[in-house]
Structure 1
Amino acid sequence: MGAVPASAPGGTAPLRIVVRAHAMPPEHNAGAEHMLVSMLRPLVERGHDVSVWLSRYGKAHDVYDYRGIRVVPLESRLDYPTAVKRADALVAHLETVPSTASMARGYGGKLVVLCHNTHLPSFRDMAVGGTALAVYNSLWMQAEAELFFAEYPKSTRPAASLIVRPPVFADEYATKPGKAVTLINCNEAKGGKVLEALARRMPEQQFLAVRGAYGEQILPDLPNVEIVEHVDGVNMRERVYARTKVLLMPSSYESWGRVGCEAMASGIPVVAHPTPGLCESLGEAGVFVDRSDVDGYEAVLRKLLAPAEYRLASKRAKARSAELDPAADLAAWCSAIEGLKG
């Protein structure tokens, strides 16, 4: 399971694709940014000129390469407007959409909006007019967008839309599972309090608390909880999944839930709160427990950690990972971007 094979699109000239993002790995590692990276990599492999221009100040001052993608920090003070003027496509997501849409209108560029959540600002910013392509990360997000357009009929639909599930290249994450119960990004909304409660209830069980990219982190000072500092995506296999037996995702909101799909590549079962996004991404492999039911989480964990039950859950996780092979989604994505030329 890998990226779309490198090949020039029918002998046409490479496209200039300019992306506006507020932050990027390795400094900032969140699901939206790693989805962006995994969508840009096949475009680079197909020979296109892809650059990501950051809109916030960060630690990096010089242009750097990340997974083959050229990243231009705000501090570099290079000429972003000229890059936009020359671009064949402008890609934006999250907070960068309004400003990128303005630049697209000013320079006549083709605007591509990646929608990572179903919050009103995401749809509103995408629907201000001039969006050539909207990308939704799930079927349920697409359905929510349709409800938005029904409620706000004066909004402007994008010229085209596409579903691209956050691409996970399973061979980059697959490993032999470890022994710990793990939570990635330990803020309250992701389930930091659930992790702490479970660690207190199960002192014999090892837990990993992985510091996230955002939000106030709940990092218990307990002998059976190891704190893992913020991890770049390229190191997740060794530093997190190779040490994880079960992944917790008691999130109050997930539009998809990328880390669950990363974990399933190794057959790691995922115990999650049943958000619409997690129900869609985890499918029949997910073990769903309401985030308010700590007793339920404890009972499920104790059952899952038994060898026979674990083997069955692990088999379902690997099967779901295979179903989520991103090749078809990425081929459609590359074709859609290449279709913007002209």
Structure 2
Amino acid sequence: MKSLAARYPRLDQADALVVHPPAIPEEHRVPRPGTHVTLVNLSRDKGVDTWRGAAAMLGGLPFLGVTGAHGQQVTCPVRGNIRVIPQTSDMRRDVWGMTRILTAPSIYESYGMAAMEALASGIPVIAHPTAGSANPWGPPAPSWTAATCGPGQPRSEPCTATAPPGSGWWMRRALAAPSSRTSPAGS
């Protein structure tokens, strides 16, 4: 803590220090959006069942799953529109370069680093509100629960993709929206 003392004059008076990992856009940003609906960490706590349900509902869209280091990874069965890749040290090329939108339907997030990296890269994120994700991202939008969870589904439970056919309008709309990551004309 002494090395930070000059930068933060009252640091030595703090009972605790929270240091959030940095999300540096230049390390993740790609020039053009990908086409996939992505989930990083294919465990049940991270929402793999919800992501798979969305893939079943939206069979015409490509889905990308990246295995993680936490929890039992659910990698099978793989539908025709799902591609699963292993963990990677090159998120820019292997994940963000293929991603159009990131899903984070977790029932628990300590911080939500994948979502922070995606947001820093200009990739939209559809997420389930958790205490950890509310910390770096702020409170959810007013339509959050209606857009991501069915009526009566408590926030502490994972959202499920069991809505009637055609109700994936919010995913289709997000995928159709112009990306903030596209290069300006002529560049």
- Give the TM-score band, short-chain normalised: 0.7 to 0.9
- Is 1:298 matched with 2:168? yes
Give secondary structure in 2 for the equivalent of 1:279: helix
* Partner SS for 1:260: helix
Structure 2 contact 109–130 (Cα < 8 Å) conserved: yes
Match of 1:227 in 2: 84
Q: Is the 8 A contact 1:177 1:266 kept in 2?
A: no
The one-letter code sitting in structure 1 at the alignment partner of 2:79 is L
Please tell me the residue identity of whatever aligns with 2:128.
Answer: H
Deviation at 1:237, TM superposition (A): 0.6
> Does the residue aligned with 1:189 lie in a helix, a strand or coil?
coil
Aligned to 2:43: 187
2:50 aligned with 1:210, yes or no? no
Alignment deviations for residues 100-130 of structure 1 (CA, whole Å, 9 cap, x no partner): xxxxxxxxxxxxxxxxxxxxxxxxxxxxxxx
CA displacement, residues 215-259 of structure 1 (integer Å, 9 cap, x when unaligned) = 221224111101111212xx0010000100000100011122011
SS in 2 for 1:262: helix
Asked if 2 retains the 8 angstrom alpha-carbon contact of 1:269 and 1:285, the reply is: no
CA shift at 1:280, angstroms?
A: 2.8
Report the secondary structure of 2:168's partner residue: helix
Equivalence for 1:171: 26
Higher strand proportion:
1
Read off the aligned partner of 2:88 and give its amino acid letter: V
Number of matched residues? Answer: 154
Give the aligned CA root-mean-square deviation in angstroms: 2.7
Question: Partners of 2:125 and 2:64 in 1: how far apart?
Answer: 14
Structure 2 residue 108 is the aligned partner of structure 1 residue 253? yes
* Residues 49 and 160, structure 2, Cα contact 8 Å, conserved in 1: no
Whether contact under 8 Å (1:260, 1:282) holds in the other structure is no
Separation of aligned partners in 2, 1:241 and 1:209 = 12
Structure richer in helix, relative to its length: 1
Match of 1:278 among 127, 133, 137: 133
Q: Distance in 1 between matches of 2:173 and 2:102?
A: 14
Q: Whole-Å Cα distance in 1 between the matches of residues 80 and 22 of structure 2?
A: 36
Alignment partner of 1:263 out of 111, 115, 118: 118
* C-alpha distance 253-215 of structure 1, shift in aligned 2 (>3 A): same
**TM-score w.r.t. length of structure 2:** 0.72
Cα deviation, residue 284, structure 1: 6.8
1:177 CA drift (Å): 2.1
Describe the SS at the equivalent of 1:304. Answer: helix
Q: Quote the offset at 1:263 in angstroms.
A: 0.6
- Quick check: which has more Rg, 1 or 2? 1
Give the structure-1-normalised TM-score. Answer: 0.41
* Distance in 2 of aligned mates of 1:258 and 1:298: 25
Partner AA of 1:242 in structure 2? G
Moved over 6 A (4+): 284-287
Question: What amino acid is the match of 2:159?
Answer: S
- C-alpha separation in 2, matches of 1:283 and 1:247: 17
Q: Percent identity?
A: 35
Conserved 8 A contact 1:212-1:230: yes
Which amino acid in the other structure matches residue 46 of structure 2? Answer: K
